[in-house]
Chain A
Amino acid sequence: MSENGHGFGRVPRKEDARFIRGQGNYVDDIKLPGMLYGAILRSPHAHARLVAVDTSAAEAHPQVRAVITGETLAGLDLAWMPTLSGDVQAVLATDKVRFQGQEVAFVVADSHYAARDALELIDVDYEALPPVIDARTALDDDAPLIRDDLEGRTDNHIFDWEAGDASATDQVFDEAEVVVAQDVLYPRVHPAPLETCGIVADMDKVTGKLTVHTTTQAPHAHRTVYALVAGLPEHKIRVVSPDIGGGFGNKVGIYPGYVCAIVGSIVTGRPVKWMEDRSENLMTTSFARDYHMRGEIAATRDGRVRGLRVKVLADHGAFNGTAQPTKFPAGFFHVFTGSYDIEAAHCAVTGVYTNKAPGGVAYACSFRITEAAYLVERMMDMLAAELGVDPAELRLRNLLRSEQFPYSTATGWEYDSGDYPRTLRKAMDIAGYDKLRAEQADRRANGGPLMGIGISFFTEAVGAGPRKHMDILGLGMADGAELRVHPTGKAVLRISVQTQGQGHETTFAQIVAHELGIPVDDVEVVHGDTDQTPFGLGTYGSRSTPVSGAATAVVARKVRERARIVAGAMLEAAPEDLEWTPGRWVVRGDPTSGATMQEIAMAAHGSLELPEGVEGHLDATTVYNPPNLTYPFGAYIAVVDVDPGTGKVTVRRFIAVDDCGVRINPMIVEGQVHGGLADGVGMALMQVMAFDEDGNHLGASFMDYLLPTSMECPSWELGETVTPSPHHPLGAKGVGESATVGSPAAIVNAVVDALNPYGVRHADMLLTPANVWRVIQGRPFRTDLAIP
C-alpha cells in the first residue's frame, strides 16, 4: 500500500479511476433539466465611452431567452462587484469599457450556438478614448484617467506599499564596496488552465436556494462573496466545485461571467451555463506578474551580500482585482531577500491602473513570490558577473546556514527551517557542476556552440496564514476539517480546500491513514461542496498541505484520542496506560492486549459502557489556524544550448532538488514539480501577453500565447532533501508552486550565462529566438509592448 505501511508513500491516486475513463465531472459536463446557455459580448476597444447598446435584434432571436446589459444589472445594483483587493470591477460596462475584451452584454439562449449567434445581433456604439498601455506612463500628468467611476479620483495611482528599513538599507548601500543595479521585467503572462472558467447557475425559485457548480479554487469564499453581493443568505447558497481541469490561480476570484449566469438564472427561472472560450480566458481572466522592477544589490568586494533594494511598478490593469491577503497589496513580495543572510533590505511597490484586464496574483505565484525569487536570483547572478565569481560559489558564500533557523529576515519573515548549502550541493552533484563548467570553458576556448548554466536557489513562503495577519476580504485564513469514522472503520474526511489536480483525494486520505492506521482506500475525502464541507479558504498559495493538511492531522489525532478512551473501556485499562502502535491502542507492556481502530470504531457505536461524559461514536472537527507559514526551498540548475545564428534556446537539462519537509506522497510531489518546471520553460522562453499601442491584446489565443509542449520540455532530473517544518503537525511544507517560482530564474540565468561571450549581463523574459538574437546584437527592446 505504501512505503512505510501506514499512509505516507507512493500511493497511486484514487482520482485516476474516473479521469482515465472520461468519467470525471467538470463544470461543462453538467447538464440540468431546462438548462440555458449564456455568452458574453465583449469590447473590441481598450478604452471607450459606451454611448448606446441596442439589444433589440438579439432579443428578437427565436432562441434567445434574455439579454442582460449593464443597465439591467444597474437596476439590481449588480453592475459592479467588489474585488479581492477592495476595489470594484464592472460586471457589465455601464459607463466606459476599460480593457479589450471587457464584458458588455450577456445573452441567454437555448443553445450555446444560438447564444453566440445572438451576440452578433447586438449593436454597440462606442466613443474611443486614448488608452494607457505602458505602465511606465500611467502616472504621467497627461495620462488618460481610467477610473473616473471612483469618486474624487484624478490619476491612475492605486497604492504605494513598502517593507523593510529604508534608512538602514540606504546606509548599507552608501557604505557598500560594490553595487549592481538592473531594471528587471517580469512580463505579463497567464496561467491558462486547460479547462477555462465556467459556471452552471441554478436558482430554485421554489426553495429560494441558489446552487452554482463552478470552477472555483475557493468555494466557501465564493459563497460568502455571493452572499455579500447578491444579498442572499449563505444557507440559501450552495457552491459546488466539481472536478476542476487545472486552476493555477486562475480560478480564485469571481468573474463577471459567474455573476451574469446567476442573474440569468434568476431572470429566466432556469439553470444557466456559462463556459468561456480560450480567447476569453486569456484576454479577461486573471493574468499573472507584470512587475517592472528596479533591483539593486550591495556587497563587499569579496562577495558578501549586504543589502537589497527594490522599486516595483506594478501593472494591475483597469480594476484592482489582485487576489491576496487584505493587508498585503503586493502579496508576499517582501520575501525578496530570498535565501541569503542580508543585513538590510527595502522594497517599495507602486500599483497603477492601465487599460488591461485585472489580475496579477495567479499562476502558482504564492502571492508574488515568483517575482521576488526571480528578482533576487537575477541580481545574484549579476553580482557574480560583476565580481567575477562563480554564481554557485557566490550563493554558497551567502546562503543561510542551518543553525540560523528560525531566521528573521530584514523584511520581517520568520523562516521556519532550512539546510540550504546541503541542498545546493546535492543539485550540483546531480548536475556534475564542475564538469559542466569545464565543458563550457572548453567550448568557449575552442569556439564551440553556446552553452549556459543557470542556478536558482529559492525560498518559498506558503501556507497563508495566521489569521491575525492574513485574511481574504476579512475572512481569516484558517481551514476546518471534519472526520467521521463509521462503525466498520471506514472514514469520511471533509475538508475546505479544493483540488484542481494536486491529488488531495489521495494525499489527505494518506494523512488520515497515517494517523489512524487504517488503509488509504478506507478513507473518502469530500471537498468542494459548501453544503458538505467545513468552512475554509480554498486551495492556492500552496496552502493545502500547510493549513488543511495540518487540520487533517489534528482532527485525526482528536479521533485517535477519543479512540483511546473507548479502547480503555474495551480493554478495562486506564487510557493513560495505553500506547499507540500503528492502527492499534495497546496496553503498555502487554502487546497482546489491544484494540484495532476498526474494533474501536465498532465498539464506539455499540453497547459498550463508556466513561462519564464520553458520547460515543468516533468523530471530530477542528479549525487550524497556522502559527506561521512554511518555507520550502530548492536548488535548481538549468543547462541550455543557444544557437547564436537563430537565437534558439534549448533546455538540455534541468536539475531540481526540492525540500518541502516531510513528503506525504513523493510521487505526487514529483508530479507537482514536473508541472511547475514546465511553467518555468514556458515563462522564460515562450509566454507573454503583450499589447500594441491601441491596447489590442496580442497573444490572446494558443496560436501565439505559446505553452510548452512535450518537445520543449527536457526530461527533468529531480532530487530531494528533507528538512521538516518544526511547527507543522506532520513536518510537511507546501510545495506545489515551488517549481514555478524557482525555475524561470534558472533558465534566464542559464541563457544570460550562455551569452556571456557577447558581454550580456541581463535579458528580460521571454527569451524567444528573436529576442535572444536581438540581445546578442546589443539592441535594447521591451518584451511586453509591441511598440517599436
Chain B
Amino acid sequence: MPRIRVEVDGATYEDDVEPRLLLVHYLRERLGKVGTPVGCDTSNCGACTVLMDGMSVKSCSVLAVQADGRDVTTVEGLGVDGTVLQPPPTTNQATSSARQHPLQTAFHEEHALQCGYCTPGMIMASLDLLRENPDPSEDEVREGLEGNLCRCTGYQNIVKAVRRAASDMREPAGQEVTP
C-alpha cells in the first residue's frame, strides 16, 4: 500500500492507503474530517469541494495518493484568512466573526444555507472563486459556483453572501481580520 504524507487543515498526516481510496473517503473515514460530505457519484454536485494547494477540487474525484505532498484545506480548517486552523467552537458562536472566515459569517447573515449539506463545498468553492476574482459581479459568482449544486436555497442568498464576503474581505471591518 502506498504511503502518503499530506497536510490537512494545518496538521500533517502520514498514512498507508489503498491506491483506489478517494480523497473524500480518506478525509472522512480515516481522518474523521466529516465536515466534507458526498452528494453524488458522478462529480457533478461539488458538495465535497476542498482546497488542494489553494485550488478547489472535488475530493470525490481525487485519489488520496494524488494528495501526497499536498496541502489540503477543508471547511473545518477555515479560519480568518481562509487557511489558518482555528479551534473548533464549543458553543453558538455563529456571530463571533473573530473565529470564522468572512465567508462563513456572510453565509450565516445572508441565510445562504438551509440543510447545510452543500455549505462546506459551497464555501470552499467560493474561497477559490474570490482568490481568482476578489470583486465578482453577480453573474461572475453564479458562473463561478456552477459546479456546486444546492437543493434548498435557490442560490440567490448564496450569491449575496459571496458578494458580501468579497466586500468584507476587500475592506475588513476589524483589525483581527487582516488579509
Closest to B95 in A: A12
Contacts of B75 in A (CB 8 A): 20-22
Q: Are B154 and A195 in contact (CB under 8 A)?
A: no
Q: Complex: how many Å from CA A236 to CA B33? A: 32
Contacts A16-B113, A671-B114 given; indicate if A701 touches B40 (C-beta within 8 A). Answer: yes
B:48-92 near A, CB below 8 Å: 74-76, 78, 88-89, 92
B:132-161 near A, CB below 8 Å: 138, 141-143, 145-159
Closest to B106 in A: A20
Contacts A21-B104, A675-B152, A710-B146 given; indicate if A26 touches B39 (C-beta within 8 A). Answer: no
Q: Complex: how many Å from CA A716 to CA B38? A: 28
Q: Are A21 and B76 in contact (CB under 8 A)?
A: yes
Q: Are B155 and A678 in contact (CB under 8 A)?
A: yes
Q: Complex: how many Å from CA A12 to CA B123? A: 18
Per-position contact with B for A461-503: 1 when CB-CB < 8 Å, else 0? Answer: 0000000000000000000000000000000000000001111
Q: Are A711 and B104 in contact (CB under 8 A)?
A: no
Q: Are A22 and B151 in contact (CB under 8 A)?
A: no
Q: Are B151 and A20 in contact (CB under 8 A)?
A: no
Closest to A672 in B: B114
Main SS class of interface, B? loop
Contacts of A20 in B (CB 8 A): 75, 94, 100, 104, 107-108, 113, 116, 119, 123
Contacts of B108 in A (CB 8 A): 12-13, 16-17, 20
Contacts of B21 in A (CB 8 A): 113
Q: Which of A241-249, A384-392, A540-548, A753-761 binds B?
A: A241-249
Contacts A12-B108, A278-B40 given; indicate if A17 touches B94 (C-beta within 8 A). Answer: yes
Give A112 Cβ to nearest chain B Cβ, in Å: 8
For residue B175, CB closer than 8 A to chain A, the reply is no
Q: Are A245 and B115 in contact (CB under 8 A)?
A: yes
Contacts A20-B107, A501-B116 given; indicate if A675 touches B154 (C-beta within 8 A). Answer: yes
Q: Are A192 and B116 in contact (CB under 8 A)?
A: no
A:1-55 near B, CB below 8 Å: 12-24, 26, 28-29, 31
Could you say which of B25, B28, B141, B152 has the most chain A C-beta atoms within 10 Å of its C-beta?
B152
Contacts of A678 in B (CB 8 A): 151, 153-155
Contacts of A22 in B (CB 8 A): 33-36, 74-76, 120
Give B24 Cβ to nearest chain A Cβ, in Å: 11
For residue B169, CB closer than 8 A to chain A, the reply is no
Give A673 Cβ to nearest chain B Cβ, in Å: 8
- Name the one of A13, A21, A674 contacting B156, with C-beta atoms under 8 angstroms: A674
Q: Are B111 and A195 in contact (CB under 8 A)?
A: no
Q: Are A675 and B76 in contact (CB under 8 A)?
A: no
Could you say which of A20, A24, A673 has the most chain B C-beta atoms within 10 Å of its C-beta?
A20
Q: Complex: how many Å from CA A12 to CA B37? A: 24
Main SS class of interface, A? loop
For residue A174, CB closer than 8 A to chain B, the reply is no
Closest to B113 in A: A19
Contacts of B93 in A (CB 8 A): 17
Contacts of B146 in A (CB 8 A): 709-711
A:204-246 near B, CB below 8 Å: 243-246
Contacts of A671 in B (CB 8 A): 111, 114, 152-154, 157
Give A529 Cβ to nearest chain B Cβ, in Å: 18
Closest to B38 in A: A28
For residue A715, CB closer than 8 A to chain B, the reply is yes
Give B95 Cβ to nearest chain A Cβ, in Å: 7
Closest to B74 in A: A22
Give A562 Cβ to nearest chain B Cβ, in Å: 28
Contacts of B104 in A (CB 8 A): 20-21
Q: Are A711 and B113 in contact (CB under 8 A)?
A: no
Give B78 Cβ to nearest chain A Cβ, in Å: 8
Q: Complex: how many Å from CA A670 to CA B154? A: 10
- Name the one of B74, B111, B115, B157 contacting A246, with C-beta atoms under 8 angstroms: B115
Q: Which of the four size classes fits the interface of chain A? A: 35 or more
Q: Are B153 and A675 in contact (CB under 8 A)?
A: yes
For residue B176, CB closer than 8 A to chain A, the reply is no
Contacts of B94 in A (CB 8 A): 12-14, 16-17, 20
Q: Complex: how many Å from CA A111 to CA B89? A: 31
For residue B168, CB closer than 8 A to chain A, the reply is no
Q: Complex: how many Å from CA A671 to CA B18? A: 42
For residue A668, CB closer than 8 A to chain B, the reply is yes
For residue A713, CB closer than 8 A to chain B, the reply is yes
- Name the one of A14, A31, A111, A501 contacting B152, with C-beta atoms under 8 angstroms: A501
Give B36 Cβ to nearest chain A Cβ, in Å: 7
The size of the chain B interface, using a CB distance under 8 A, is: 64
Q: Complex: how many Å from CA A601 to CA B66? A: 59
Contacts A248-B151, A710-B142, A710-B158 given; indicate if A19 touches B95 (C-beta within 8 A). Answer: no
Q: Are A16 and B155 in contact (CB under 8 A)?
A: no
For residue A707, CB closer than 8 A to chain B, the reply is yes
For residue A574, CB closer than 8 A to chain B, the reply is no
Q: Are A702 and B42 in contact (CB under 8 A)?
A: yes
Contacts of A707 in B (CB 8 A): 149, 151
Contacts A16-B107, A20-B119 given; indicate if A713 touches B155 (C-beta within 8 A). Answer: yes
- Name the one of B35, B39, B143 contacting A195, with C-beta atoms under 8 angstroms: B39
Contacts A21-B104, A703-B42 given; indicate if A501 touches B142 (C-beta within 8 A). Answer: no
Give B109 Cβ to nearest chain A Cβ, in Å: 6
Give B56 Cβ to nearest chain A Cβ, in Å: 15
Per-position contact with A for B114-131: 1 when CB-CB < 8 Å, else 0? Answer: 111111100100000000
Contacts of A13 in B (CB 8 A): 94, 108, 111
Contacts of B39 in A (CB 8 A): 194-196, 245, 278
Contacts A674-B154, A707-B149 given; indicate if A19 touches B119 (C-beta within 8 A). Answer: yes
Contacts of A787 in B (CB 8 A): none
For residue A521, CB closer than 8 A to chain B, the reply is yes
Give A364 Cβ to nearest chain B Cβ, in Å: 11
Q: Are A244 and B115 in contact (CB under 8 A)?
A: yes
Closest to A276 in B: B41
Q: Are A710 and B141 in contact (CB under 8 A)?
A: yes
Give B2 Cβ to nearest chain A Cβ, in Å: 15
Q: Are A245 and B40 in contact (CB under 8 A)?
A: no
Give A211 Cβ to nearest chain B Cβ, in Å: 19
Q: Are B141 and A21 in contact (CB under 8 A)?
A: no
Contacts A701-B40, A702-B44, A707-B151 given; indicate if A715 touches B119 (C-beta within 8 A). Answer: no
Give A25 Cβ to nearest chain B Cβ, in Å: 8
For residue A667, CB closer than 8 A to chain B, the reply is yes
Contacts of A15 in B (CB 8 A): 116
- 14 additional A-B pairs beyond A21-B100, A675-B152, beta carbons within 8 Å, are A14-B94, A17-B89, A21-B75, A21-B78, A29-B34, A113-B20, A113-B25, A195-B39, A244-B115, A246-B114, A501-B114, A501-B152, A667-B111, A713-B156
Would you mind naming 10 contact pairs between A and B with Cβ atoms under 8 Å apart?
A: A18-B89, A20-B116, A22-B34, A24-B35, A194-B118, A196-B39, A245-B39, A278-B45, A702-B44, A710-B158
Residues of A within 8 A of B (CB): 12-24, 26, 28-29, 31, 111, 113, 192-196, 243-246, 248, 277-279, 500-503, 521, 667-668, 670-678, 701-703, 707, 709-711, 713, 715-716
Residues of B within 8 A of A (CB): 18, 20-21, 25, 28-29, 32-42, 44-45, 47, 74-76, 78, 88-89, 92-95, 100, 104, 107-109, 111, 113-120, 123, 138, 141-143, 145-159
